[in-house]
Structure 1
Amino acid sequence: MIKMKFTKAFSTALLCSIASVPAYAQTEPDNDPATADNQSAGDDDTIIVTANRRAENLQDVSSVVQALDSEQLRRDGISELRQLQVAVPGLSIANQEGNVEIFIRGVGSANNTELGDPGAAPHLNGTYIPRPRGLGVMFYDLERVEVNKGPQGTLYGRNALAGTLNIITAKPRLGEFGGYVQAEIGNRSSYGAEGALNIPLGDTMAVRAAGYYINRDAGFHNASTGAQARNLKPAGLEENYAGRLSLLWEPNDRLTISLVGDYGKETGTGYPGANIFGAVTATGLRPEDLDLREVVYRGMQGDMENELWGIQGKISYDFGKFGAELTGSYRSVDFYQANASSDGIDYPGRDLDAIQYDNFSNNFWQTESQSQVYEFRLFANESERFRWNVGSFYFNEDQAVGYLALADRGYCCYSATEFTMPDVNGESYAFYADGTYDVTDRLRLLGGIRYTEEKKYRYGIGGNWALTLGGEDYSCCFATRVGTEGFRPNLLDRPNFDVTGIDTLQGRAQFLIEGIKTAGLRDTLIDQIGAIANGTNPNGTCTSRPDIDNGFMQCPTGFDGGFSFVNLTIPDQQVGQSKFDFVDWRVGMEYDLSPDNMLYAKISTGHKSGGFNDSFNGSTIPEAYSPEKLVVYEIGSRNAFDAFGRRAIFNLTGFYYEYSNQVFQDLTCINLDETQTPPVCNGYSLVNRNIGASRIYGAEAELKLKLPAHFALDINAAYLDTKITEGVVADARAQDFDAGGESPLVSLVGNRLPLASKVNLSARLSQSFDIGSGRFDWQALLNYRSSFFLSQFNESDIVFLDGTRQTALEAGFPDLQKGFVTLNLGVGYSIENLRLEAWASNVLNQEASQKALVGSSLNIRFLNDARSYGLRARISF
């Protein structure tokens, strides 16, 4: 009923909007010099995109596609990938420990580990990228960036559930020698350079070399006062560089061969996040009343290094009525990060001098990925009445991933968590057919279908490190330190990942020590259990030191200098596999009311790949979860008309989503003691389950006007209403560790999807005119996002297992990001081959959360970029 009412209401609005627009014929070029002078450079109406796997005018595409070319990105002050959301309503991009997470209209995925895949598919030059780490170092010497909203299940396929983001690099140009060099300097001690050189090699071949360098920080500050900690550099400092070499060969008018090779490296202090839980519970203040960039760092210096490279190739041949295209790609990612550890953020009344800065609890991440993508496609040429695509797609990825979370300064005992998988494989193949048929010169029918089969496999270890070491009179327990100055874990360099046969205390001690590549300066683990590992003393070596003295432990007598008892826990074996297949399809129609006015309607589907969960001995965790599915109903119009004597654009689209088999993370028992009646669970873990469903509806509008006095106005607006219709999960905010980690169940029904603002508006006002012998331009890009939630809990009250109730704020879990405005400004002056620019991004210095990690005593925020401004000079030749 809701869908029928919405469709009827939107259809009425759509027809009214078209009826109010005069159906002008295609306008001829204006040769009047007075009028032409009112046009700014680059005012060509034609924007070419490849959303339908062929080059076509954006106004001819029956879907919502936003494209920004390199010049527009530069003028908008968009210098890195996350800032795209300022210009594209409905788009959200966050970065968690190097994982780029893309959401479009509230649909996406925060699970970018080996357990899952992105929900909005990133592409480079039309080729799928499975691990979107390091996308930022591809953001230079671009032709354009395209954001295609809604599922692209037939043509793009793999994980294009929410849509696609396609970064398209500048191509070599035949018969033309040229290029540019660019340098910039900005606030927060940032500086960078970029350049490209295009070299023709005869009449049929050209190469293009491009390079990029940037040194900047994310605007976080170290609020620590401890002697060692105050010298730590905050997270978010980065020094990145990259290079790209492209080759184009067109030996005749039928054959085209292109190659693109690229290399990039990110270094710095790691991607920043801020745990606000302690600040909220201590002060009762909401996040917007705190400074989330004032972080209290401690322990180890944050460190990150990400090296990536790839090569793409494409061969195209025109047979006359149809063409053929073969593409292949290989990409490699090698990522390592030691987190910049913190004790939360500073807040009013906090005694910074009372903090235990000698705390080296930390998280370590490692990801290696080698992926191959191949596609063969046959397609009809544009002159044909039936423009079809048929093709096959193959994807293979080998991953190796490592994660280690260390706890330091524990009161007693010791516990850490490691998940290291040296062998992870994903494989997918698909076959598809898609086409557009001209029924008449005005009516076109659309249709497509795609069959996909996928399988995944994973082998490694996952679970806890634990040391329980007894003192005098078998008292419990001695503390252990791991991760102090100089520590590095082995992770993927472990000599052994087979724990199935390790059932002795000596074997477990050896396995724990093998997890350490370099022991920290003040670590005690090897000192305490080294004698167990080498067989010289099964009770280990009792070590007592002031920094591990909990005030009541004494080394026992009579155990050869060892402990009175030793219990050691190591991770479990992890073996996971899954296999699934699915079919995506689309049907639709386009109708031209006039050469400048088109109506369209279509139904399309998309899937996101399933995956597997961590496994634990005796647990009830399901081994795999199934693909998510989206069905979208869409109607819209695309219109060009004359306004103020110039060509203008007005587009309107309405959509309704049925989101099924949706994955939510849920707490599930991992250690069930069935010897008790009834059975008792002694441990829980977050797992992925297909337990949700949602409905989404909304509308998007686009208006482009060229105004008198050299002004131009572009407005993109989106309205989005999301509602979870199925989903009951354990409330991780109320996890009770006295009950083995159990949490109360909570229904998500009626909640909004995370990151989904109801209203999102982007408006760009620009002006360009001649001054002297050059041309001056300025522009302002304003973006408004209404409030959105950062988790599926929607800041609901928390009801604990004992029946007590707290508001989310009282418990430390506010997750509402209030609405905010972002403003970017830019000015430029071009004279001959020189261009000078000044820019300012996030002028109002809005501090907005783009992602939250929520768990027991955990509310980590990942923020937008702080205010940045600077100067840039560019010479073209």
Structure 2
Amino acid sequence: MKTTRGRLNPKLLAVSVSTIACGALHAPACAQADGTAVQEVIVTAQRTAAPESKTPVALSVLTAADLDAIGADTPGALAARLPNTYLENSYDGLRITIRGVSNADVTEKGDPSAAFMVDGVYVARPQSQNTALYDVDRVEVLRGPQGTLYGRNTTAGVVNVITKAPVNRFEGDVNATFGNWGERKVGAMVNVPVNAVLALRAAATWNKHDPYLSNGSNTPRTLGLDRDDRAARLSAKLALGDNASLLVRYEASRDNSNNDSTVPDSNFYSGIATGNPVWNGDSTDKRLTYRFNPPNTRFEQGYSHKKTSALTAELNWDLGPATLSWLGAHRSFDHDYDYNFYYRVAPAVALGVRQPFNGSYNQDSHELRLATNGTGPLSAQGGVYWFRERARDVYYFRDLQLVGLPPYYVFANDPVRSQSKAVFGQATYRLVDGLRATAGARYTEDDKSRTGYIGYQRAATFNAATDLRDLNAGRIATNRTTWRLGLDYDLSPATLVYGAVATGYKAGGFNDGCVAGDSRNGVGCLPTSALPAASLTYRPETVRAYEAGVKTRFWDGRASLNVAAFHYDYRDLQLSNEVVVNGRPRYETTNAAEAAVRGLEADGQVRATRADTATYALTLLDAHYVGYVPDGVHSWSGVKLDRTPARTLALGWEHRFHLAGGQLAAGVGTHASASYLLGVPQAGLKFRVPGHTESDLHAGWTPDGARWSVLARVRNLENEVRPMTISSSGLTVPTEPRTADVRFDYRF
């Protein structure tokens, strides 16, 4: 295909696709009434409802049917169906990586690079993002910075889980699932139209499976990578006259999974002590077996108890020329756990560390937005946003006496505050028929602070006669204006071409420590641990992104193709890991000077017949550091960012046919990835994950005229596991092995 100076020419691509695509110019009109057309999905990616094929941003949508087919009932199960996207349920929370951009600081002071949302509400804590997906309408994943409409901490993109709202008809469903690894699940939903103005919907789920990890260390404790959670949601939709409606949702969940879900990195690699890790080729069983016996302590039984509640209200009022919307939410999250660390303190020496933790987090958010109605040449929206989070936690590390620390190395923080305020607006104007220009901007102010201490104690309870406390406090205020400029053009009724330049912003923050002379609540900054003010804080992360794309339907609407080409210039990319400061372990975030990301994505569907549907996705990606010297000596310029394979290919096929008095739908999908890196820059380690495939199968049968159905699924047919995350201390979270289950549904 012709390019200009090595860059993709989106208009030439669109012309080529349209030329070879039979019937492209008339696809909407001739979409087959017999069900052969690719189904259109309505999305709210730009905060107003629009068809996915007419939304000029790179996004993927997974519907409820898609989630059921692949058995995706947690965010971490979605990634194989999403181009250039990784969602990983790590031991310390959900890690989201989009087009190579991620973040590892999941502490109370950290922020993600990709926003995770539920029904449009930002969920701040990664530990509470590892949530059950149930009674979900769709999941929208936007790739690229979304700073104008979604705000801060969206330099990588947005994941928005949209649950089903009450409808004006009676319906219900109960389901049960059983599988290997002791999997058992139960779910239920009922929707009741109380009267002409009120509808109620209730849904609940309970999920459990045994640990994937086995204990080979001759100790009695049970390990993690298990599941034990339950959740329920009650929704009410009230019509307020003819022009307004109020939707209220309340959700509560409990999660009692085991937090000990890691193995040493030596389960996957040899040669770590030499600084050159090499994939060891061990079997899946060996990689999922924990064999480390610490020389300095005896591990305890780990556990994790999470409690979450959320109240959300959404008001929409049609004023005629415009619609006024308010979205308000309160979320609370409590977490109590005991974790056993594998902690490498030297290339060939590792210790065991026990960590009890108790934390509480509360967040409130409000957004007021006004969006124009009608079909005139101008459409616009604008509003104000306010967010506040207050957290407190206390945790301590035991068993580090061999590195010169006391028996209890304590971190206590209360309060930790984060507040964000923003004003935003975006407008699209039709220049001529089919050609539209978009401009938007958002101004954001962020204020983050923490007051706490680091304790050096002989016991869990502080003793002023024998113990010391060191101030652990910081504050930073940052602000940015992010903006977006774009053009989109209807090359034909079935082909949209678009291009945009957009910026993103992630708030700055502070590290563990204190500044000499500072004192809070009677705790001062010890001279031996004081840090320069410049190293206590880190700068905001910013990005400027250039993107062009094509979305087209062809073959009489029976096939679709979405193509996006992009280039990012990152500044002050935030990278986090454990480090030793003044002889004491801390969690530190630093800024990589520059990073560059560029790539190409293509995905779509083909409805070959009424009974056959194929899906495909191809990505090409080059994401690397442009300027980064993590230890002040060794340059990582040119080194790839984490989780950035040069190529990936996903293929899927489903066939439906009549069998034994019912409808059978059987499908297969596979995801092939080139190798990629997981880096620990502070230690100079580069862990290469080899190229691999991961495949799944599903088959569902529904008897004619019946209310019940059965669905069988197998995931990871290859039964291969890989490291999801690797920390500088060697903690490694494996992916899931082969799983299989059968689900029964009864609808009424």
Relative to the length of structure 2, the TM-score reads 0.90
Q: What pairs up with 1:163-174 in 2 under 5 angstroms?
A: 163-174=157-168
For the residue of structure 1 that corresponds to 2:77, the secondary structure is helix
Q: What pairs up with 1:285-296 in 2 under 5 angstroms?
A: 286-289=279-282, 291-296=286-291
What is the RMSD of the two structures over their aligned residues, measured on CA atoms? 2.8
Aligned to 1:68: 62
Which structure shows the bigger proportion of residues in strand conformation? 2
1:54 aligned to which of 38, 48, 73: 48
Alignment partners' CA distance in 1, 2:10 and 2:498: 13
> Structure 1 residue 403: deviation in Å?
2.8
1:92 aligned to which of 82, 86, 90: 86
Alignment partners' CA distance in 1, 2:32 and 2:440: 43
Aligned to 1:435: 427
Aligned to 2:147: 153
Q: In the alignment, is residue 216 of structure 1 matched against residue 216 of structure 2?
A: no
Alignment partners' CA distance in 2, 1:282 and 1:717: 33
Q: Unaligned regions of 5+ residues in structure 1, if any?
A: 345-354, 468-481, 483-488, 491-508, 512-532, 534-567, 672-681, 731-743, 799-812
Q: In the alignment, is residue 119 of structure 1 matched against residue 109 of structure 2?
A: no
> Structure 1 residue 773: deviation in Å?
3.5
> Structure 1 residue 844: deviation in Å?
1.0
Aligned to 1:824: 696
Alignment partners' CA distance in 2, 1:192 and 1:669: 43
CA shift in 2, pair 1:100/1:411, >3 Å:
closer
CA shift in 2, pair 1:11/1:363, >3 Å:
farther
Alignment partners' CA distance in 1, 2:496 and 2:585: 55
Q: Is the 8 A contact 2:377 2:429 kept in 1?
A: yes
CA deviation vs aligned residue, 1:825-850 (integer Å, no higher than 9, x gap) = 10000122111011111111121111
Q: Is the 8 A contact 1:302 1:341 kept in 2?
A: no
Aligned to 2:554: 641
Alignment partners' CA distance in 2, 1:341 and 1:662: 28
CA deviation vs aligned residue, 1:105-125 (integer Å, no higher than 9, x gap) = 011211121232011000000
1:815 aligned to which of 682, 687, 708: 687
For the residue of structure 1 that corresponds to 2:224, the secondary structure is coil
Aligned to 1:575: 473
Letter in 2 for 1:269: N
> Structure 1 residue 66: deviation in Å?
0.6
CA shift in 2, pair 1:667/1:331, >3 Å:
closer
Q: What pairs up with 1:175-574 in 2 under 5 angstroms?
A: 176-225=169-218, 229=219, 231-277=220-266, 280-281=270-271, 286-289=279-282, 291-296=286-291, 299-340=299-340, 361-407=353-399, 410=402, 414-462=406-454, 464-465=456-457, 510-511=463-464, 533=465, 570-574=468-472
For the residue of structure 2 that corresponds to 1:203, the secondary structure is coil
Alignment partners' CA distance in 1, 2:216 and 2:12: 57
Identity of aligned residues (%): 23
Letter in 2 for 1:259: V
**Number of residue-to-residue matches in the alignment:** 714
CA shift in 2, pair 1:670/1:207, >3 Å:
same
Instruction: Give the stretch that moved more between structures: 653-662 or 281-290.
Output: 281-290
> Structure 1 residue 342: deviation in Å?
5.9
Alignment partners' CA distance in 1, 2:211 and 2:545: 37
For the residue of structure 2 that corresponds to 1:791, the secondary structure is strand
CA shift in 2, pair 1:367/1:95, >3 Å:
farther
Alignment partners' CA distance in 1, 2:425 and 2:741: 48
Q: In the alignment, is residue 762 of structure 1 matched against residue 650 of structure 2?
A: yes
CA deviation vs aligned residue, 1:389-417 (integer Å, no higher than 9, x gap) = 11000000001123311117859984543
Aligned to 1:728: 629
CA shift in 2, pair 1:406/1:281, >3 Å:
farther
Letter in 1 for 2:697: L
CA deviation vs aligned residue, 1:121-172 (integer Å, no higher than 9, x gap) = 0000011111132334341111011111101100011211111000111110
Q: Is the 8 A contact 1:620 1:668 kept in 2?
A: no
1:586 aligned to which of 462, 484, 499: 484
CA shift in 2, pair 1:19/1:656, >3 Å:
farther
For the residue of structure 1 that corresponds to 2:256, the secondary structure is strand
Aligned to 1:471: none
CA shift in 2, pair 1:774/1:650, >3 Å:
same
Q: Unaligned regions of 5+ residues in structure 2, if any?
A: 293-297, 515-528
Alignment partners' CA distance in 2, 1:619 and 1:136: 35
Q: In the alignment, is residue 660 of structure 1 matched against residue 592 of structure 2?
A: no
Q: In the alignment, is residue 609 of structure 1 matched against residue 507 of structure 2?
A: yes
> Structure 1 residue 419: deviation in Å?
1.8
Instruction: Give the stretch that moved more between structures: 53-62 or 277-286.
Output: 277-286
Alignment partners' CA distance in 2, 1:163 and 1:107: 9
CA deviation vs aligned residue, 1:617-676 (integer Å, no higher than 9, x gap) = 43235232221001110111111111xx662101211000011122234898854xxxxx
> Structure 1 residue 277: deviation in Å?
4.2
Alignment partners' CA distance in 2, 1:30 and 1:379: 31
Alignment partners' CA distance in 1, 2:188 and 2:577: 48
Alignment partners' CA distance in 2, 1:379 and 1:274: 50
Letter in 2 for 1:865: E
> Structure 1 residue 792: deviation in Å?
5.3
Q: Is the 8 A contact 2:630 2:681 kept in 1?
A: no
Alignment partners' CA distance in 2, 1:343 and 1:423: 28
Q: Is the 8 A contact 1:96 1:271 kept in 2?
A: no
CA shift in 2, pair 1:96/1:367, >3 Å:
farther
Instruction: Give the stretch that moved more between structures: 862-871 or 389-398.
Output: 862-871
1:45 aligned to which of 36, 39, 45: 39
Alignment partners' CA distance in 2, 1:285 and 1:755: 17
Q: In the alignment, is residue 873 of structure 1 matched against residue 747 of structure 2?
A: no
Aligned to 1:740: none
Alignment partners' CA distance in 1, 2:564 and 2:146: 16
Q: Is the 8 A contact 1:77 1:824 kept in 2?
A: no
Larger Rg: 1
